[in-house]
Every structure is written in structure tokens, then in C-alpha cells.
Amino acid sequence: MPRLRGPIRRDKKRRVLRPGETIRADGRYQFKYMVDGKPKFFYSWKLEPTDPLPAGRKPCKSLREMEESLEVRSIICPNSDDDTMTVMELVQRYLSLKICVKPNIRINYNFVVNALMKDPFSKKPIGKVKMSDAKLWLVKMQSEGRGYSSIHSIRGVVRPAFQMAVDDEILWRNPFNFEMREVLINDSVKREAISRKDMRIFLDFLKNDRHFKKYYEAVFILFHTGLRISELCGLTVGDIDLEKRTINVDKQIQRDTKGKRYIISTKTKAGARLLPMTDDVYDCFTAILRRRKPPKVEPIIDGIGNFLFYDANGNPTVAMHWEHYFNHMVKKYNDIYKYQLPKITPHVCRHTYCTNMALSGVSAKTLQYLMGHSDISITLNVYTHIKFDDAQKEVELVQEQQQKEMENIRKELEQVGEIQPKIIPFRNKA
């Protein structure tokens, strides 16, 4: 049966019409296909099942529901014979096309493949996967203890893989074309900013601790620059300009599963930025450079050397090192003191910096630049973590500033006589 083709057409709702689908003059949707050289038609007042029925029209199935028949599906999907390949085979086919990707993305792909290999769902023929099957699979993974973020990563590969099968005309629709929040509970822990009090307590503890004081300056910098931890690890001596008091951020250092380190660009184009130093940050970098003891043979990573931070083996530190440092530092504090600190990570430092700058009145656009955000909506999301007490203090501060400004204006006007009572002379009628 020949498949009808033509240019891309859309309905009034801007939805793309499939080959064979048209809209009649009376508003009905029509699907035309050929069987043994003879045209056949489906008609409906609705394209999708969720479409409202026009007033005065009898209830009917949507056009897309009618197209689910085996006969029509074979026209929409001329390559449906390939739908016997398994989910794993489809994913591997999809990933084989992803050649030019960053190493960290490749690591995520390997994670997804390893997770799928252990799951019976990977052996299921793609043509047998219904949307309910896809949803139940995600629910099953969460019920078995897999975290929301991990499931999100897995679905982030499986969904486009199935879309590739749709584009290749193997499948007629993507069974993963739904929102995760429809079926799963987001139980991932949000990385909240910590209070100024907790930040001060943590920094004071590090500064005075005999073992962890060597990390004080780096942690202080994270709290007061908003650097991503991979950006901090990627800093070299040449990136620190003490004379101009600037920090050049243009790269990250990361490590793959085999331990190999590599340099990549910043997370986004906006991530490449020049940051100003406050006096305290200047003092911290001065101390770091003064104490810096590089290995006898400094490692060169992708042509770059002279890093600021090294591990015990003489290699540049990576994010995992600092995650461990923070865990040990917070644990030691909480083991000693009655007052307990919340979980603190390098990203919490970044989030705390962003929140504190927002509360200090820094504009969203300036903050977007400082944080290296590509989209200002990411920056604005910080304000969702500002609590009532913070908002109340902010309103009171603005009110106080406005009152001072009005008082100053009043005094200025009094000095020039602009608000003195106007004396109206009265003539003597006598």
C-alpha cells in the first residue's frame, strides 16, 4: 500500500497533520489511505481524544484513535517490521549516533546502558511497549529504590531513542511522550541555601580546626564567588590576577570512570566570565598562592597546567574530592557540637552565594552574569527559596530607605523655601 506524502500541514491549533490527514471545509478531520489502489477514508470532528466536541455534533472517536487500526498503522509506519528490536538494541542504535559529545555526557550514557542491562524491560520489543508499560516501568524503578534523578537520566536517553524510531517510521508514536511528574513523586533532595549564621559557624570551624583549616580559603571562595566546584578545580595560577583583582573562569576539570582527567569548557557559554574579587576573596587567593606546593612534575591536562589544587597523588583535584572533603568537615563539626549543621556541599555554597546576593539587592541580570547562568529564569528561581522572614526584612529595609529619602527631600525643600507656607496679602478696603 503506497503511503501518501506531502508538505507539512497544520490545523488551527498549529498541530502537525500526518501524511493522509486533512481538514474538510466543514471542519471535520479526514484521513485518506489506499487499499489495493482504492481510496479509503476516516472522518472525525476531533483530531485527538482530548479535543472538545463541536457544539451540536454527535459523540465520535478521534481521528487518531481510528488510525490505531493495524491497517492504517502500516501506512503511517512502513518500516514497522523493525519494531521487533529490543529496547536495549534501540538505545544502543541511538547512542551510536552520539559521537561528538562531552566526556561527562558519555559517562551518563554509560550509566544508562549499565542500568538497562540489568533490567528485564530492556529485552522488550519496542513494538510491544505501550505508554502504560513505559509509565509502569518508571514506577517500578522508583518502588525498587532508584532515585528520581537517576530515573530522569535513564528516561532522558530512552525517550529520544523511541522518538528516533518514530522519525524512522518504525513506530507510529512515542510511548515515553509524557511528563514524569504525572506518574512519579519527585523525592530528590533540593539543595537549599544555608543561613548566614550556619555559613559563619562552618567557616569559623574550618578556620580554627587543626586538620581542615587547609581548606578554609577554598571554601570561603566558594561561598563568596558562586563558582561551580568543577570551575574551582579548573583554576590555574594564570587565572588569578591579584593586581587587577579578577578571576578568569573559562574551563572545568573533570574525571571519567577510569580516572582520566580532562578539560572541558564551562557548562554554558555564559559560564565563561571574569569575576571581581572582594577584599576577603583577594586575601584567600593570596594565601592559597603563597602556600601552593605543586608536585615536582606538574601534570599537564589537555595542554593546561599550574593548577591551584592538587590531591595527595599530585593530580589536580576534581569535584568528587571536594564532595568527600565537605562530608568529612560537616561530620566532624556535628560530632563535636550540640548545634547541628545541615548538609553542606560545594553546590550548596554556590546556591548560598546566589541567595545572599539576591537578598543584598543585586539585580537579576548582574546575578545572572556572576553565576554564569545561560538563562535568567535559572537565576530567578533563586528567589523561590527566599523565606517570609527574608521578604519581611527586605520590605522593611525598602520602607526605611524610602522614608529617609522623603525626609531628605523635605529638608532640601525647606532650605530653599519651596515648602514654606504661602502668605497671601489682603488689601485694606478702607
Residue 196 corresponds to which cell in the numbers above? Answer: 548566614
- Residue from 173, 224, 350, 351 carrying the catalytic annotation: 350
CA dist list (Å): 60 to 32, 33, 173, 248:
18, 20, 22, 64
Task: Please confirm, yes or no, whether 383 is among the known catalytic residues.
Answer: yes
How far apart CA 275 and CA 245 sit, in angstroms, is 9
Is 59 within 8 Å of 53 (Cβ atoms)? yes
Q: Can you tell me the distance from the alpha carbon of 162 to that of 173, in angstroms, rounded to the nearest whole number?
A: 8
CA dist 162 and 172 (Å) reads 10
Beta strands in 260-312 (DSSP E): 261-264, 273-276
Report whether 364 contacts 376 (CB < 8 A): yes
Radius of gyration of the chain (CA): 31
Q: Which of 32, 140, 245, 347 is catalytic?
A: 347
Catalytic residue of the set 267, 273, 332, 385: 267
Catalytic residue among 18, 191, 383, 385: 383
Residue 98 CA to residue 91 CA, distance in Å, equals: 11
Is 347 a residue of the active site? Answer: yes
User: Are 319 and 312 a contacting pair, CB within 8 Å?
Assistant: no
Cβ partners under 8 Å of residue 282, min gap 6: 242, 245
Q: Is 353 a catalytic residue?
A: no
Q: Which helix (H) or strand (E) holds 149?
A: helix 148-167
Cα torsion for 58, 172, 125, 114, to the nearest 10°? -120
Are the beta carbons of 232 and 221 closer than 8 angstroms? Answer: yes
CA 362 to CA 404: how far, in whole Å? 21
Active-site entry in 228, 255, 321, 351: 228
Q: Which helix (DSSP H) or strand (DSSP E) does residue 16 occupy? A: strand 16-17
Q: Which residues of 348-387 are buried (b: 16+ CB within 10 A; e: fewer)?
A: bbbbbbbbbbbbeeeeeeebbebbbbeeeeebeebeebee
Which runs of consecutive H residues, i.e. helices, occur in 84-130?
Answer: 87-95, 103-117
Catalytic residue (one of 255, 261, 321, 373):
373
Cα 349 off chain centre by: 17
Q: Is 385 a catalytic residue?
A: no
Q: Which of 158, 138, 150 is nearest to 91 (CA)?
A: 158
Helical (H) or strand (E) element with 229 = helix 229-233
Is residue 147 within a helix (H) or strand (E), and if so which, with residue range?
A: none
For the annotated catalytic residues, the residue numbers are 228, 267, 347, 350, 373, 383
